[in-house]
Structure formats: C-alpha cells, structure tokens
Copies of this chain bind each other. A is one copy, B any other.
C-alpha cells in the first residue's frame, strides 16, 4: 500500500476535515482527496459516504460549500471526496475545455489513447480509493455513495455496476443519460471511442436495465436547474426504472438551480437517508 501524506487538517463541527495526497497506481499520477472524520471515529470505526463531485470541481468544493460536516458529526459518518480527474498530467487538449479532460473524468475507465493511461476513474473511486481509506483511517467497509451532476452519474454507476459494494446511493441533479447528451457524448467519444455500444456500460439509464441487485435510488433535482432539459434528463432514467421496476425517488425542488446552494439545502436529507442504510439511524 502506497504511503499517504496529510496536506491539511481543520477541525470542523467537532470532527476533522483532512486533505490527503497519495500516488495512485490506477491513475499513474499523484492525487488529493478529502476525508471528513466525525468525532465518533476517535473511539471506533465509522461507515463512509463517498461523494463524487461535478465538472470543474476538485476535492474541496463539497467540503467547503455543502455544509455536510454539521450533521455528519452528529450521525457519526465519514465523508470521502475524491478529485474529479487525474491531475498533474498534460495530455493533448487535456486542459483546454471545462467539460472534458482535467476536472471532467466522468468516472469511467477510458479505453482510448492517450486517455487510457490515466483516466481510470471508475476503478480509482470504486477500488483503489476505498482500499486506501479502509487501510489508513478508522472506518468500516460499510459504504454509501452520492454525488452531483457528472458525479451524480458517477454515483449511479457505482451503485448500478457494483451494488454489492454500497449500502445506498443518491444523487443531486445527476446526468442521467450521458450517451444521449452533449457533455456525455463529448467525453465518451474521447475516453471510449466512437463505438456507441461500448458507451452502454457507462450510462446509468442503460445500466438500470442490467443490474441484478436493485439498490433504491434517491435523486434531488432543482426544477430551475439550467442544465435540466439538455444535459441531465432525469425523465430518461425514470422511464428506464419504471420499465425495470427499479426503485427510484426523484424529488423535484421548485426554484432551485444547479449550484451548491441547492446541494446545501438538501444535503441533510441525503445524509439521513444514507445514515439509515448504514445503520446509524433508525
């Protein structure tokens, strides 16, 4: 197991918010993640919520803006926030667009060069990172997963492709059908190539039809989200869930947009949802 390095540690709501740097063998680069440890972690292992952030984000957006530590401290829930792409690499065009390359790894395992050498974000967030977390911090192997936008889709993929690894899944304003929307098409054609059959393995609306263990899905979606119609398309996922009898709850939130102001408004509901699945709340 590679060594990890503590970059910063801030006390917050009685717990500790850490930033950790490490070398990722899966991504072939150094990465930074955030981990919040609630006060309960001082006396025994606690379960973990993995939070996957959206386009342009780093490990810090959620930790600084969501206000999740307040309730997580009461619940006894650790929160791990990975970065959104490999870092420190300099592939052709990697840093040119905000919706592709750095800050936009889409949580897939790239199969096309030059991306495949580093952009293995699915294996990173579902395998390498949990192994590092569970080897280095006082946590159990009870995991839940959530995320926002691109990271909301990432959370859905984690739960749909590896349901045995998670106790619960939720998402805020997730991209629901990336193989049919602009951000997703752009990313998938570079990371996965032009054969759209390969994309189906990385599209939540498609994956709902394939999963054999149905983890219920909770989604909150702002009704005034500027990306709702063109990029997110929760209706596609809803339709697929109806067809496959996959349990899904979508809360449309009147007046809310795509920002962290929306996330912070409903994060407590999601924390309680995961806490119940993780046995922290009845």
* Chain B proximity of A63: nearest CB distance (Å): 9
Interface set, chain A 219-253, CB cutoff 8 A to B: 222, 224
Contacts of A262 in B (CB 8 A): 10-12
Q: Report whether B65 and A259 are in contact in the complex, using a CB–CB cutoff of 8 Å.
A: no
Residues of B close to A65: CB separation below 8 A: 64-65
Known A10-B259, A10-B261, A70-B264; further 9 A-B contacts with Cβ < 8 A: A11-B256, A11-B261, A12-B264, A13-B264, A14-B265, A17-B261, A67-B67, A67-B264, A70-B265
Distance in angstroms from A59 CB to nearest chain B CB is 14
Asked if B70 contacts A10 (CB within 8 A), the reply is no
What residues of B have a CB within 8 angstroms of the CB of A222 in the complex? 11
State the oligomeric state as a number of copies. Answer: 2
Q: Does A134 contact B (CB under 8 A)?
A: no
Name the distance in Å between A161's Cβ and chain B's nearest Cβ: 33
Total interface residues in chain A, CB < 8 Å = 22
Q: Would you call B67 and A265 a contact (CB within 8 A)?
A: no
Any chain B CB within 8 A of the CB of A279? no
Secondary structure at chain A's binding surface: helix, strand, loop or mixed?
mixed
Chain B residues closer than 8 Å to A257, beta-carbon distance: 10-11
- In this assembly, does A255 line the interface, its C-beta being within 8 Å of a C-beta of chain B? yes
For chain A, residues 38 to 73, give those with C-beta under 8 angstroms from any C-beta of chain B. Answer: 64-65, 67, 69-70
A260 proximity list for chain B (CB < 8 A): 64
Can you list 30 residue pairs at the A/B interface with Cβ under 8 Å? A10-B257, A10-B259, A10-B261, A10-B262, A11-B222, A11-B224, A11-B255, A11-B256, A11-B257, A11-B261, A11-B262, A11-B265, A12-B261, A12-B262, A12-B264, A12-B265, A13-B264, A13-B265, A14-B265, A17-B261, A64-B64, A64-B65, A64-B260, A65-B65, A67-B67, A67-B70, A69-B261, A69-B264, A70-B264, A70-B265
A11 to B13, CA, bound (A): 25
Give the distance in Å from the alpha carbon of A222 to the alpha carbon of B11 in the complex: 10
Docked CA distance A69–B65 (Å): 12
Within the assembled complex, what's the spacing in Å between the Cα atoms of A11 and B67? 16
Question: A257's closest neighbor in chain B, by CB?
Answer: B10
**In the complex the two chains form, what is the Cα distance from A10 to B13 in whole Å?**
26
A150 to B256, CA, bound (A): 33
Chain B residue numbers with a CB within 8 Å of A10 are: 257, 259, 261-262
Most chain-B Cβ atoms within 10 A of its Cβ — which of A224, A255, A261, A262? A261
Minimum distance in angstroms from A266 CB to a CB of chain B: 9
Which partner residue on chain B sits nearest A258 by CB separation? B10
Interface residues in A64-117 by Cβ distance below 8 A to B read 64-65, 67, 69-70
